[in-house]
Structure 1
Amino acid sequence: MSVFEYCFSTLGCSEMSLHDIIDLAERHDITAVELRALSGTVDLISALTTQFEDPAGLAAFLAGRNIEIVALNTSIKLFESPDLSAIEQFIPWAEAADVAHLRIFDGGKQLCADQIKRAADLLGDWQARRRSSGLNVDLMIETHDALAHVEQLVAFVELVPTAKILWDTHHTWARGTDLDSVWEGIAQNIVHLHVKDSKVDRDGRRHYVLPGHGDFPMADLISLLQRNERHIPLSLEWERHWHPELPSLEDALTTARNWWQQGVFDAYR
């Protein structure tokens, strides 16, 4: 049994409705997805409201379907927002669908101590609100901007040891940090993983390619995960919404089958 579950972000199939997304997942024996875009927009609340009217409608739709929504992905940036009030509209949908996490970005660039302290205060306020309201959903912070730098990431989790981290393995690796170094610094904070592949072309720039066609060290990541026993979603973030020249998510999931099962992991559960 694998220590994580395979899933994908709907950023790779943003034109699809949730019904079509579930069909896609079933074709690839995947039982978990993270919602970033639906029906042509990254405005998830608008798309969900159009399709299901309210959170109860989403819950009714999901009942009996073999799919888990592991995250609703917001555009909120922790280090650039005065507060986290924009998260409020996502909470009823997440609670109704039993979603584990709401993704927020880190944002920022070179962080100072005051920025980290302010972010810690915001997260502390969130946890107080979460406890007082009896919420199940929690926030996870993606290593996208400032926290893609491992020194700042480690400093952040040292100050906020309860922070939940969505580790975008490609972002930290592309910045020059080996996977083991990141894991050693934040292992207990990681609740979700993003994976993708890329290579440097003749123009000297790194470009996304189909899983297994680039130089991301997936075998090293698999080996790293094998040495641990935590159940962590491993999500293919195929950025076709931002890079429409990329092949379809269907093609990416097909090539990912062998790529993210390197080593002795069992096949899709």
Structure 2
Amino acid sequence: MKLSFTTLGCPEWTLEQIATNARSNGYDGVELRTHADGNHLSPDASPDEARRVADLFRAHGVPVMSVMGYTKFAFLDPAEVQRNQELMRKLIAIAAAMGARYIRTFAGKLPDGTTHAQMIDVVADALRPLAREAATKGVTIGMETHDDWCASHVSLQLVEKIRSRKGFGIIYDVCNCLYAGIEPWRTTYRKLKPHILYCHVKDGWRDAAGTFQYAALGAGDQPWREVLQALKKDRFKGFLSFEWERKWHPELEPPERVFPQYVHKVRSLWG
């Protein structure tokens, strides 16, 4: 396994600070947030700018392993689908210029009153040409298990409909799937295993009101020891990317505290 973190956890850091801290804390790569707010890279970045950013991280020995995008495709309005396709094409160009292997996407929350059966072809038809385009540039689009797309059978249907082994796969967010309450994590993992590109790692618990409370790895109620041992047994070679959502929850511990702890804890649990 290899270790990375999403820059969602360090919104106040510059690119130089991110690269320096990733290297000093023993990370192998970085999942770079790419959003219209420019934190930490804009989807409108030129190929030259993307290459300069990639060179900065490579110089520190921590390449950008994934472009963390925010595209989604489960829309009834074809214009919204097209807008997100255009955005994904920008992300593909950025990832290719950077030499980043992956792009994160969402499928998108189901519109009110719709079902997976009604929307899965909309999502698959939107992503299929993008996956093929990405594959020609050495990039793979990864759909995060998120929102209404945490059940393994739904993710597998999408993989089968897109039909691009090199251009499309799954980013397995264990916590998202567990809290969806659809199936045991072992079931999800077993079914998605051939298609997992990398994993998002976070920990926490739900309080009495049902609100998710973030915690440092090992301090929540997620079965991370068992999950990591299963990955180790299967000789998982991908990234375990720490998703600390400080961008959305500024009250969380600062990255200079939790990023080193994550490395230590993962290595301890991995054994």
Name the residue aligned to 1:36: 33
Name the residue aligned to 1:96: 97
How far has the Cα of 1:53 moved from its partner?
6.4
Name the residue aligned to 1:167: 172
Q: 1:224 aligns with which of 225, 230, 243?
A: 230
How far has the Cα of 1:129 moved from its partner?
2.9
8 Å Cα contact 1:55-1:92 kept in structure 2 = no
2:43, 2:119 → 1: CA distance? 31
Kindly provide the amino acid, as one letter, of the partner of residue 224 in structure 1.
A
- Runs of 4+ in structure 1 deviating by more than 6 angstroms, as ranges, are none
How far has the Cα of 1:203 moved from its partner?
4.0
How far does the alpha carbon of each residue in 1:149-193 deviate from its partner, in whole angstroms, 9 at most, with x for none? 334223333434533111111100112232211111111111010
How far has the Cα of 1:138 moved from its partner?
2.0
1:200, 1:19 → 2: CA distance? 35
How far has the Cα of 1:214 moved from its partner?
0.9
How far has the Cα of 1:82 moved from its partner?
1.5
Name the residue aligned to 2:213: 207
Aligned residues: 257
8 Å Cα contact 2:200-2:241 kept in structure 1 = yes
2:133, 2:210 → 1: CA distance? 47
How far has the Cα of 1:212 moved from its partner?
1.4
2:211, 2:92 → 1: CA distance? 39
Note the residue ranges of structure 2 that are not aligned, 5 or more in a row. none
How far does the alpha carbon of each residue in 1:224-254 deviate from its partner, in whole angstroms, 9 at most, with x for none? 1012123110011000000111001222123
Kindly provide the amino acid, as one letter, of the partner of residue 142 in structure 1.
E
Kindly provide the amino acid, as one letter, of the partner of residue 82 in structure 1.
V
User: CA 1:68/1:59 → structure 2, altered by over 3 Å: closer, same or farther?
Assistant: closer
Kindly provide the amino acid, as one letter, of the partner of residue 120 in structure 2.
I
1:37, 1:22 → 2: CA distance? 16
Name the residue aligned to 1:74: 69
8 Å Cα contact 1:157-1:186 kept in structure 2 = no
How far has the Cα of 1:47 moved from its partner?
8.9
8 Å Cα contact 1:55-1:96 kept in structure 2 = yes
Name the residue aligned to 1:5: 2
Once the two structures are overlaid, the 10-residue window that deviates more, 56-65 or 158-167, is 56-65
Note the residue ranges of structure 1 that are not aligned, 5 or more in a row. none
TM norm structure 1: 0.85
8 Å Cα contact 2:7-2:33 kept in structure 1 = yes
Identity %: 24
Name the residue aligned to 1:118: 122
How far has the Cα of 1:222 moved from its partner?
0.8
What RMSD over aligned residues (CA atoms) do the two structures have, in Å? 2.5
1:19 aligns with 2:1: no
8 Å Cα contact 2:6-2:31 kept in structure 1 = yes
For the residue of structure 1 that corresponds to 2:186, the secondary structure is helix
8 Å Cα contact 1:12-1:239 kept in structure 2 = yes
2:246, 2:91 → 1: CA distance? 24
2:88, 2:130 → 1: CA distance? 10
Kindly provide the amino acid, as one letter, of the partner of residue 248 in structure 2.
W
User: CA 1:44/1:203 → structure 2, altered by over 3 Å: closer, same or farther?
Assistant: same
Once the two structures are overlaid, the 10-residue window that deviates more, 73-82 or 135-144, is 73-82
Kindly provide the amino acid, as one letter, of the partner of residue 210 in structure 1.
A
TM norm structure 2: 0.84
How far has the Cα of 1:147 moved from its partner?
1.1
2:57, 2:226 → 1: CA distance? 35
